[in-house]
């Protein structure tokens, strides 16, 4: 593993990074995380990621033991410590309840654990953008918000992992998930959009999904460039009529979807609205990162 890791400020290579087995992040999956990436060496949309991290933490009464600027300094230090240097970095920030007795009582864990993992950012193969990817509509349903709210970007990723493993078994690149009502909500590691009557449409947060930073950014970009965009409840029937579909995510940018299981989306090639949004997304990421 070509990673450099900071555990509570102690920076090591991957092999020497460790936390206690009594960390409640490990014992109970009690923790949250953010995945960021750099463009031109700068963590992209850092403020938005930190806003979401604080929101995730608040939803599980987890104290955040750092200021945004201090964490950014630690991320930069971890990147700088990477042997051989990093062209562009993948950054994962994890915050757990910390080490304590085997108990769900918050009093058991006085100090949260902060982990920063950085490694080279390896972009998805070019063909995923030029040819599009295939999703599988999986049987695993997204967690019900009243059971485990998908708004919490939780380290407990069993729901996502089981969905993705089902998709991989059928040879797909990503798992498309429904909520308990059978509505499309999001994918195992990305948000889902389709084109409907020339508008870009994505399920509303109230359906029970992660408020993706890329999702939010793409909705704003669409607005700015005069592409009608809205949140609307979607069902699997909408896939049949959709001329285009795509997913969004920090590491996937805007990735065209050309098939869902055996169903071909539109012409089976990435659509013009999707490709325009991808181009605008990349141009804006470039521009915002160079300005720093
Ligand atoms: N949904 C889920 C379940 C995810 O894990 C991710 C990736 N973190 C996303 C959506 C996309 O979010 P973002 O655009 O913030 O990377």
Query: Which atom of ligand 1 lies at the shortest distance from residue 213's CA?
Result: 15
Q: Which residues of 188-224 are buried (b: 16+ CB within 10 A; e: fewer)?
A: bbbbbbbbbeeebbbbebebbbbbbbbbbbbbebbee
Query: Which atom of ligand 1 lies at the shortest distance from residue 217's CA?
Result: 14
**206's tokens:** 């109230």
| Ligand 1 geometric centre to CA of 283 (Å) | 21
Q: Which domains, ranges and CATH numbers included, belong to the chain?
A: 4-120 (3.30.470.10), 126-290 (3.20.10.10)
| Ligand 1 geometric centre to CA of 41 (Å) | 21
Helix (H, G, I), strand (E, B), or coil: what is residue 124?
A: coil
Which residues share a beta bridge with 82? none
Asked if residues 163 and 126 have their Cβ atoms less than 8 Å apart, the reply is: no
User: What pLDDT score was predicted for residue 84?
Assistant: 82
User: What pLDDT score was predicted for residue 103?
Assistant: 98
Q: How far apart are the first and last CA of the chain?
A: 30
| Ligand 1 geometric centre to CA of 186 (Å) | 9
Q: Which residue, by CA, sits nearest to atom 12 of ligand 1?
A: 212
> Smallest Cα–Cα separation from 46: which of 268, 289, 291?
289
**C-alpha separations of 130 from 146, 159, 201 in Å:** 39, 30, 21
pLDDT bracket for residue 292 (50, 70, 90): low
| Ligand 1 geometric centre to CA of 279 (Å) | 20
- Residues 164-179: what's their mean pLDDT? 98
Query: Which atom of ligand 1 lies at the shortest distance from residue 49's CA?
Result: 15
Beta-carbon contacts of residue 70 (< 8 Å; ≥ 6 apart): none
Residues framing ligand 1 (Cβ under 6 A): 35, 160, 186, 189-191, 210, 212-215, 248-250
**pLDDT over 70 percentage in the chain:** 99
The Cβ of residue 5 has, within 10 Å, a number of other Cβ atoms equal to: 24
| Ligand 1 geometric centre to CA of 250 (Å) | 7
User: What pLDDT score was predicted for residue 80?
Assistant: 96
Q: How far apart are CA 108 and CA 105, in angstroms?
A: 6
pLDDT in tens, 175-231: 999 999 999 999 999 999 999 999 999 999 999 999 999 999 999 999 999 999 999
Asked if residues 85 and 79 have their Cβ atoms less than 8 Å apart, the reply is: no
Residue 291 confidence (pLDDT) above 70: no
| Ligand 1 geometric centre to CA of 51 (Å) | 14
Beta-carbon contacts of residue 218 (< 8 Å; ≥ 6 apart): 193, 200, 229, 248, 254, 277, 281
User: What pLDDT score was predicted for residue 1?
Assistant: 80
| Ligand 1 geometric centre to CA of 107 (Å) | 31
Residue 91 confidence (pLDDT) above 80: yes
pLDDT in tens, 96-147: 999 999 999 999 999 999 999 999 999 999 999 999 999 999 999 999 999 9
Which run of H or of E encompasses 38? strand 31-39
pLDDT in tens, 235-283: 999 999 999 999 999 999 999 999 999 999 999 999 999 999 999 999 9
- Global confidence as pTM: 0.97
Query: Which atom of ligand 1 lies at the shortest distance from residue 34's CA?
Result: 8
User: What pLDDT score was predicted for residue 125?
Assistant: 97
Pocket test for ligand 1, best of 121, 159, 250 (most atoms within 8 A of CB): 250
User: What pLDDT score was predicted for residue 17?
Assistant: 98
Q: How far apart are CA 246 and CA 191, in angstroms?
A: 9
Q: Which residue, by CA, sits nearest to atom 1 of ligand 1?
A: 190
Q: Which residue, by CA, sits nearest to atom 3 of ligand 1?
A: 189
Which run of H or of E encompasses 255? strand 253-260
| Ligand 1 geometric centre to CA of 191 (Å) | 6
**234's tokens:** 């979607």
Beta-carbon contacts of residue 220 (< 8 Å; ≥ 6 apart): none
Q: How far apart are CA 57 and CA 73, in angstroms?
A: 20
Which residues share a beta bridge with 31? 96
Using alpha carbons only, how large is the chain's radius of gyration in Å? 19
* DSSP letters for 74-107: HHHHHHHTSTT--SSEEEEEEEE--B--S-S-GG
């Amino acid at each position: 593993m070509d990673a450099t890791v900071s555990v509570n400020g102690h920076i090591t290579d991957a092999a020497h990074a460790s936390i206690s087995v009594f960390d409640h992040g490990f014992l109970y999956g009690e923790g949250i995380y953010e995945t960021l990436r750099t463009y031109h060496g700068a963590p992209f949309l850092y403020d938005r990621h930190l806003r979401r991290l604080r929101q995730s933490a608040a939803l599980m009464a987890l104290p955040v033991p750092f200021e945004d600027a201090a964490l950014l300094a630690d991320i930069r230090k971890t990147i700088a410590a990477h042997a051989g240097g990093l062209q562009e970095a993948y950054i994962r920030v994890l915050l757990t309840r910390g080490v304590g007795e085997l108990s769900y009582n918050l009093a058991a864990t006085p100090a949260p654990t902060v982990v920063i993992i950085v490694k080279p950012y390896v972009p998805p193969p070019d063909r995923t953008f030029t040819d599009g990817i295939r999703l599988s509509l999986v049987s695993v349903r997204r967690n019900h918000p009243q059971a485990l709210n998908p708004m919490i970007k939780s380290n407990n990723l069993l729901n996502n992992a089981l969905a993705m493993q089902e998709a991989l078994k059928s040879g797909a690149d990503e798992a498309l998930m429904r909520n308990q009502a059978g509505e499309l909500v999001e994918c195992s590691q990305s948000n889902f959009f389709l084109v409907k009557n020339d508008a870009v449409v994505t399920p509303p947060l109230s359906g029970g999904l992660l408020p993706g930073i890329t999702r939010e950014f793409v909705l704003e970009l669409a607005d700015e460039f005069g592409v009608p965009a809205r949140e609307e409840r979607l069902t699997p029937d909408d896939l049949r009529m959709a001329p285009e579909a795509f997913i969004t995510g920090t590491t996937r940018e805007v990735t065209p979807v050309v098939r869902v299981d055996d169903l071909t989306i539109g012409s089976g090639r990435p659509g013009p609205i999707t490709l325009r949004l991808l181009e605008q997304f990349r141009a804006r990421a470039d521009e915002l990162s160079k300005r720093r």
